[in-house]
Amino acid sequence: MNDVDKWKVRGAVKTLRTEFAAWDLNQQEWQPPRHFSLVAFLPDGKISDSDHHNPDGSISHSKWFYDETGRLAETQYWMNDGPSDQVLYFYDDAARHVRTVQANQDGTQRDSEACTYDLGRRKTKVHFLGPQKPNVTYSYGIEGTEQAHGAPPQAQRL
């Protein structure tokens, strides 16, 4: 399944714009959009880049890069015109994802995920939590699902 399919759109989609607005019950009409996202896809349906335009005027940018076999190799993300952070993806000889590295704009790197596979080809993934900011709720996705769960700051101390 490619990214276009995951987004539940059909056809040769190049760009998708999503707007977020509220319905005004009194006037029976949509309020102007508070924020919107633009997502671009490659011809093969993989995501290429996205821009999230926030209500405060800031823009969160993301870009995806793939290797010659089509595997995700790197993502970059940044705010406004600031410097970018990177996430690097590594694979074993069987083309299985084995490691993810967070490369920050200050030059530091840290492992953020490690995957191992048993003889039955079942995957075990360990996600290494990075430094947490106070009073920020983090959300963690469940691989293979559309589910994510938030963890309030006090619950993140493991």
Q: Where are the domains of the chain?
A: 3-129, 130-158
Q: Is it true that domain 3-129 has CATH number 2.40.128?
A: yes
What the block records as the tokens of 116 is 């191992």
The answer on pLDDT for 142 being more than 60 is yes
Task: Identify the CA nearest to 46 among candidates 75, 86, 19, 20.
Answer: 75
**Beta partners for residue 127, in sequence order:** 113
The answer on pLDDT for 2 being more than 70 is yes
Band the pLDDT of 154: cuts 50, 70, 90.
low
What the block records as the tokens of 115 is 């995957």
Contact at 8 Å (CB) between 85 and 76?
A: yes
pLDDT of residue 39: 95
Q: At residue 95, what are phi and psi to the nearest 5 degrees? A: 70, 25
Band the pLDDT of 156: cuts 50, 70, 90.
very low
DSSP structure class, residue 136: -
The residue among 43 and 11 whose pLDDT is bigger is 43
